[in-house]
């Protein structure tokens, strides 16, 4: 396994990519105002009317092709827009309880897709934030036990897998330049530099 993993170092090596955020300039909001909440819900309702998919509101980072690492994160305001879109597509509006639940969330979800050459390469992968030398560990991490075939199959990289982590809002600076790092169990590192101050 270790020897096989070394051959995929190019795919899962240090891979620094810039963020492709589709949101306005604003630090990640941990305690949104009523105005921000209503605006997020309105954006979701408008997206539903235009038949745009809910994942329009994800903040995406990394590559835009199908053969290099990428990912997304979902903030509280984005979660409200996603929920409003889902419900709007069904012809209903979010209930107060649904809105409250989204706002009371203690963690932010981060999902990344990485690549390797063996089906179980992502097992025991780990993810952290680095903010000015401070390492922020996740509350939870999960990963694909068996990766799926990549668009390059049977060429390298042959497989792709997801690593998903949740980070407590209380643990990280929502305005800081941040590097998201993923560490597959058998070595290598995939990194994504983001500026949280540019994310809404």
Annotate 81-97 with DSSP letters as a single string: HHHHHHHHHTT----HH
Count Cα neighbours of 176 within 13 Å in the Cβ-side half-sphere: 15
Give pLDDT tens digits for 141-150: 999 999 999 9
pLDDT of residue 187: 84
Confidence of residue 167 (pLDDT cuts 50, 70, 90): very high
Question: Distance between CA 51 and CA 168 in Å, rounded?
Answer: 32
Token representation of residue 196: 């949280």
Mean pLDDT, residues 112-116: 96
Q: What's the pLDDT band for 16 if we cut at 50, 70, 90? A: very low
Distance (Å, rounded) from C-alpha 112 to C-alpha 163? 5
- pLDDT tens readout for residues 91-111: 888 889 999 999 999 999 999
pLDDT for 159: 95
For residue 133, give its domain range. Answer: 2-198
pLDDT grade, residue 126 (50/70/90)?
Answer: very high
Which one of 5-9, 29-33, 72-76, 87-91 scores highest in mean pLDDT?
Answer: 72-76
The structural domain count of the chain equals: 1
Could you tell me if 81 and 115 are in contact, meaning their C-beta atoms sit under 8 angstroms apart?
no
Structure-block tokens of residue 98: 């649904």
CA distances from 194 to 21, 22, 107, 174, 199 (A): 9, 13, 18, 11, 9
CA 116/CA 108 separation, integer angstroms? 26
Are 83 and 121 in contact by the 8 Å Cβ rule? The answer is no
Does this model's pTM top 0.85? My answer is no
At residue 26 the predicted structure's pLDDT band, cuts being 50, 70 and 90, is: low
Alpha carbon separation from 52 to 46, 102, 151, 175, 191 (Å, rounded): 9, 21, 25, 29, 30
C-alpha distances out from residue 63 to 131, 132, 149, 151, 189, Å:
22, 24, 18, 14, 16
| Mean pLDDT of all residues in 18-25 | 38
Task: Provide the greatest CA pair distance for the chain.
Answer: 55
Q: Is the pLDDT of residue 13 over 60?
A: no
């Amino acid at each position: 396994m270790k020897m096989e993993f070394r051959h995929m170092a190019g795919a899962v090596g240090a891979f620094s990519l810039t963020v492709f955020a589709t949101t306005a300039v604003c630090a990640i909001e941990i305690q949104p105002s009523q105005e921000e909440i209503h605006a997020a819900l309105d954006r979701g309702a408008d997206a539903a009317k235009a038949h745009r998919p809910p994942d329009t509101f994800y903040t995406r980072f990394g590559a835009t092709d199908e053969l290099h690492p990428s990912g997304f994160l979902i903030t509280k305001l984005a979660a409200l827009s996603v929920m409003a879109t889902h419900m709007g597509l069904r012809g209903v509006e979010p209930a107060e309880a649904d809105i409250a639940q989204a706002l009371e969330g203690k963690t932010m979800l981060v999902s990344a897709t990485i690549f390797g050459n063996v089906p179980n390469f992502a097992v025991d992968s780990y993810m952290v934030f680095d903010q000015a030398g401070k390492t922020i560990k996740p509350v939870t991490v999960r990963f694909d036990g068996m990766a799926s075939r990549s668009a390059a199959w049977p060429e390298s990289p042959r497989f792709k897998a997801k690593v998903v982590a949740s980070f407590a809002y209380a643990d990280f600076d929502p305005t800081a330049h941040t590097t998201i790092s993923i560490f597959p169990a058998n070595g290598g590192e995939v990194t994504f530099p983001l500026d949280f101050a540019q994310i809404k």
